[in-house]
Structure 1
Amino acid sequence: MTSTSLWAALAVAALLATGEAAHAGEGHDHGSEAPAPAGVALPRFAAVSETFELVGVLNGRQLTLYLDRTADNRPVRDAEIALEIGGQPVKAEAHGDAEYEVVLAEAPAPGVLPITATVTAGDELDLLAGELDLHAPVHAEAANPAHATKAYAAWFVGAIAVLALLGWGARRVLGGRRVRTGAAA
């Protein structure tokens, strides 16, 4: 293998390691990595019984509730929902079609909040329980240390390839001077 083809192979390896040449086209990625979420997921809870399924999504102080029938997932309209969130009683108000809303006095502190819901829909009465897990988001690198390691390895291989190419270029320049100097002597 000539030194030129060796350096070309190192350059290709550096490109592959940094991922520049390794991106598959749309629909052709067979990797095992899950796609990164597009935005921040809001904290939520679910409480299920034989009759109802209640899902709550917290956005700051606003808690939006969705109530469905467990059997067929049909939305439940005109229900009364009384909640106890972390020991504080609140009543949900109808908001839109088959949505309910609670505005809390203040945003809940991080931690796990127990939630109990008493649902009354027509002549049906049910008690549901769930937990709202509020924790600070984990930095993406800390959540996936393998990704961080791959990134550092790619930068390392890329740096070695650049240094090798610089060394090769310096040898060619210095080698060319020796030939000229040797021919004159």
Structure 2
Amino acid sequence: MILATSALAVSVTAVSAQTTPPIAGQSAPSFVAAASDANTYAIKASEMALSKAQRDDVKAYAKRVLDENRTLQKSLLASLRDNQRTIRTPSSALSSDRASLLSLLQKAPRGSFDNLFLTQATQVQDRAWSVYKGYAEDGTDPALKQIAIGAVQQEEQELTAGKALLPAALAGDQ
């Protein structure tokens, strides 16, 4: 319980901050790795939320995030198959930061799960938005740039929906 509560406090601080600025100057491989990591976290956390969330609106949100991120991840990985350039398929393992978030979510008591899931989801979506927006603005690979452009709006919608589900005390002035 203490672990989940402290994780919630850390996550709340991140969510109440302003949107992270776009990340400029990403190489194509760096973009792919960061985008894939965010998508993989969203997929795994949303799958968990479908079984652990108590609120129906949180489950509906998790289902939407799951479906959208599965589609986005498939598009991202499909774009790597190109004879013009070589970008390695990113690892399916989460980064240590995202793995830690997922571990905290797995350990969260049922009564704390919904708010922790929403808090983490909005934190990760904010960072994912900065990755996608940065590459959409100055990415050099046309196929990846197209994916980034499409993902920006998706991340904005998911972020807005997730924040709307958070209790006002957790959402802050966003």
TM interval, short-chain normalised: under 0.3
Higher helix share: 2
The structure with higher relative contact order (CA 8 Å, sep 6+) is: 2
